[in-house]
Amino acid sequence: EPEVTQTPSHQVTQMGQEVILRCVPISNHLYFYWYRQILGQKVEFLVSFYNNEISEKSEIFDDQFSVERPDGSNFTLKIRSTKLEDSAMYFCASNPAGDTQYFGPGTRLTVL
């Protein structure tokens, strides 16, 4: 069964550094998302992407965040200058056409 994949599984970085989190959504899906979950808190929506552009973003998704679909398969989240409070699990998700979203296994980001 097709799955959403994410790399790396764990990323440790210094405050102020840039990180890129990578996702490969399920191949025939049209909608792509990033969510984050700070330890012990609820899953929060960051951004949705459809037809090669951002369709919606949350208040969390400020200028330090960006997303790209550089080719037909990868979907990336870049954090330009990481802060301590960016430490969280970051989940990528995709859905075929406005119904069930399938989540990747997540990337645990630790900012020191």
Partner 1 sequence: GQNIDQPTEMTATEGAIVQINCTYQTSGFNGLFWYQQHAGEAPTFLSYNVLDGLEEKGRFSSFLSRSKGYSYLLLKELQMKDSASYLCAIAKDSSYKLIFGSGTRLLVRP
Residues that bind partner 1 (CB under 8 A): 31, 33, 35, 41-45, 48, 50, 55-56, 91, 93, 95, 98-106
Which residues contact residue 64 at a Cβ distance below 8 angstroms, ignoring those fewer than 6 apart?
79, 80, 81, 83
CB 33 within 8 A of CB 15: no
Q: Which of 64, 60, 59 minimizes the C-alpha distance to 19? A: 64
CB 23 within 8 A of CB 42: no
